[in-house]
Amino acid sequence: MLKNVKGHVTYLDGSDVAKLNIQFLNITTKRSYSTTTDASGNFNVSNLSEGIYELSTQGTSSLVYKYIDTVDVNINNSEFDFIFKYRYIDDQIFIAVNDDLSFIKFNTFDTKIGSAFDSINYVAGYYQGDFANEYTLSAEIYEIPAGVNWTELAETADADYIRTNYTKLITLEEIFVSQSHVLIFRDDALNVLYSNPSNGFAFVNADTTKILKLPCIDRQNNDIALEIYYK
């Protein structure tokens, strides 16, 4: 029996995912059926035979997780809603002031998580290939309120100035394993990261025997961002 299949795709904050390419691949026949979500995140596929399908998103960017699932299309099961999740929190702006101080604003708003923090296990960033162990991600994190001119601040501020004049939010200690540094945001640190997306942060070196670096997601250590790990 042929079925018309439909569904609705949203982000974690409940907003709709438009223009998303979706494929149903029949596990047995290997025949595929493709469609695209409309402006409201809805999709429809006509004339699917009953059976087991691989449902997946196609052609997605590296910023998001590819969705893939196995679904059973039958007379009682023809509607498949799912949540589309961002993989990375990109940086919006950053300034490396000196070896002990950096400014950064993460673009948390565009990850479409909203207040659904409980769906996140942790968020992490990396610095890799430090064979001499001369760098660190360990940092005291201070809030830079919206409206502050970062360029002017970078010309005059040092670590002590930030400690004296700005609000400390949290201190994070890195994990160093096999020449790779890892900085993990979980629990209270997640709330700091997501609580006010209009604000930025000052990262102040918490290990002054080493050079402060900002967390990255690539082996070349030039793509400053954080990776989201969901529960």
CATH number at residue 60: 2.60.40.10
Joined together, the tokens standing for residue 13 give: 């904050």
Asked if 42 and 133 sit in the same domain, the reply is no
How much is the average pLDDT of 97-114? 94
Q: Give SS3 for 135.
A: strand
Asked if 75 and 115 sit in the same domain, the reply is no
Asked if 143 and 211 sit in the same domain, the reply is yes
122-159 pLDDT, tens digit each: 999 999 999 999 999 999 999 999 899 999 999 999 99
| Residue percentage of the chain with pLDDT more than 90 | 86
**Torsion over CA: 131, 176, 188, 63 (sign):** positive
Asked if 30 and 135 sit in the same domain, the reply is no
23-80 pLDDT, tens digit each: 999 999 999 999 999 999 999 999 999 999 999 999 888 889 999 999 999 988 999 9
Asked if 178 and 120 sit in the same domain, the reply is yes
Cβ neighbours of residue 165 closer than 8 Å, sequence gap 6 or more? none
pLDDT confidence of residue 181: 97
pLDDT bucket at 199, cuts 50 / 70 / 90: confident
Asked if 40 and 66 sit in the same domain, the reply is yes
Q: Is the pLDDT of residue 196 over 80?
A: no
Element (H, E) at 193: helix 188-194
pLDDT confidence of residue 45: 95
pLDDT bucket at 95, cuts 50 / 70 / 90: very high
Question: Total domain count for the chain?
Answer: 2
What is the DSSP track for 11-54?
-TTS-B--S-EEEEEETTT--EEEEE--TTSEEEEEEEESEEEE
Of 22, 52, 83, which one is at a domain's C-terminal end?
83
Of 36, 58, 83, which one is at a domain's C-terminal end?
83
